[in-house]
Amino acid sequence: MLVRLQKIIADAGITSRRKAETLILEGRVTVNGQVVTELGSKADPARDHVKVGGKLLGRPARHHYILLHKPIGYLSTVSDPEGRPTVMRLVKGIRERIYPVGRLDYNSSGIMILTNDGELANHLMSRTAAIPRTYHVKLEGQPQPEDLKKLKSGIVLDGERTAPAEIRQVVQREKPWYEITLTEGRNHQVRRMFERIGQPVVKLKRVRIAFLTDEGIAPGSFRHLTPAEVERLKIWKRPEKSSKAR
Ligand code: URA
């Protein structure tokens, strides 16, 4: 059966479909010895020899779906040139090469998904799915209601307006805790949003991704997602504007 090259590469667990497209465009993919740079190209994974960077792709990888509670002090990358600990150290017993979907800062904690399913990774990061991610943040001080209103409706970061956010206070103290839910994941977005209103984030913890929470997962540990959870993530769509479903 003919399948698009980027899907074959993603299914082999090499990388996400989007990154596979870049590899194809860069001329790093061959099919039966011929370099293929056209994105629409297809091959038969059962018969054709597909190589990426000269390495023959094996059988499609068995997919793994991990929900990890990242503690502070770990990088959310596969490796670090400076030798700092990465979240990969915390995941044991999986032979396939899995990778984190999205990022959590070194100084942030909370849940993240790791997988070798490039398809799902892509979907989770896509703007169309707009997966909500919820954070608990401890702030330096009490923000002004009008500033919170601005953050909720959207501010301009890197020349682009942020999507509407849900924000509510969860702990009332001198350094209060707030809960913020975003449907996009720009670099250091939560920290930058609160910095913009003059209330730096002192602590940041991701407590929810879509319907997944940190319940029962101690910092530094993980669990496998259930098949039902994986299916639910795969079909997750941005809710209709008027809908309160989910
Ligand atoms: N936003 C941030 O600023 N940092 C994180 O780690 C996650 C979201």
Alpha helices in 43-112 (DSSP H): none
Question: What pTM value is reported for the model?
Answer: 0.80
Ligand 1 center from residue 118 Cα (angstroms): 22
Which residue, by CA, sits nearest to atom 2 of ligand 1? 188
> What is the Cα–Cα distance from 242 to 246, expressed in whole angstroms?
12
Which of the four pLDDT bands, split at 50, 70 and 90, describes residue 20?
A: very high
CATH architecture of 65-127+212-234: 2-Layer Sandwich (3.30)
65-127+212-234 and 133-209 share one fold: yes
Which of the four pLDDT bands, split at 50, 70 and 90, describes residue 242?
A: low
Joined together, the tokens standing for residue 215 give 């319940």
pLDDT at 241: 65
pLDDT tens figures, 153-202:
999 999 999 999 999 999 999 999 999 999 999 999 999 999 999 999 99
Does domain 3-56 fall under CATH 3.40.50.720? My reply is no
pLDDT tens figures, 130-158:
999 999 999 999 999 999 999 999 999 99
Residue 214 near residue 69 (C-beta atoms within 8 A): yes
pLDDT tens figures, 206-236:
999 999 999 999 999 999 999 999 999 999 9
> What is the Cα–Cα distance from 86 to 79, expressed in whole angstroms?
6
For domain 133-209, the CATH superfamily is Alpha-L RNA-binding motif (3.30.70.1560)
Q: Of 68, 162, 181, 189, which is best to mutate to test ligand 1, by the most ligand atoms within 8 angstroms of its C-beta? A: 189
Ligand 1: residues with CB < 6 A are 104-105, 108, 188-191, 204
Q: Of 109, 190, 196, which is best to mutate to test ligand 1, by the most ligand atoms within 8 angstroms of its C-beta? A: 190
> What is the Cα–Cα distance from 156 to 107, expressed in whole angstroms?
24
- What residue spans define the domains of the chain? 3-56, 65-127+212-234, 133-209
Ligand 1 center from residue 229 Cα (angstroms): 24
Which residue, by CA, sits nearest to atom 4 of ligand 1? 188
Residue 136 near residue 179 (C-beta atoms within 8 A): yes
